[in-house]
Amino acid sequence: MSEAVDAAATGKTKYKSTSAGSAPKFEVPNFELPKMEIPAAFREIAEKGVTQAKETYEKIKTVAEEATDLLEDTYATATKGVSDYGLKLIEVARENTNSAFDFASQLITVKSISEAVELSTAHSRKQYEAVSAQTKELASIAQKAALDTVEPVKESLGKVFKLA
């Protein structure tokens, strides 16, 4: 065993060897911290700060939960609007394809060029009217989807700014 070194005399940490081949055990000096009392004013300020932090956290938590609900509703509404629009596009494509096949089958049966021109003119007029109506309907669906999606966001943002 090695000798204990006097920490007070040398300013070094004491250590003791336990047995041959093992590492020495270090003893950390025990420093006593001076006892300080925190002034009451400082304690009050700290308590007010903690209270305000808790209140702010609760407000932020509430706003975050509302924002999450709003986003879920917004995505659901937007998804429904896009789905409606896509379904209408499929319907429009089906109508236009059927019209083109009908025109082709009628065009095969014509007996003269004048009859072909007349049929073609009638088909073009009918298709122009159909495409105009389809475009208006698609625009209406897109506008409704956009308004249905944006309106709740607009209302919620107004509420959030009032809270802030």
19 and 85 in a common domain:
no
> What domain range is 75 assigned to?
70-163
Q: Total domain count for the chain? A: 2
Assess if residue 49 is contained within a domain.
no
Q: Is residue 131 part of a domain?
A: yes
120 in any annotated domain: yes
Q: What is the CA radius of gyration of the chain?
A: 41
pTM: 0.59
pLDDT in tens, 80-119: 999 999 999 999 999 999 999 999 999 999 999 999 999 9
Ordered alpha helix ranges (H), the chain: 7-10, 40-108, 113-163
Tell me, yes or no, whether 54 lies in a domain: no
Task: Tell me, yes or no, whether 40 lies in a domain.
Answer: no
Burial of 106 (0-12, 13-18, 19+ CB in 10 A): middle
- Say if residues 141 and 80 touch (Cβ distance below 8 Å): no
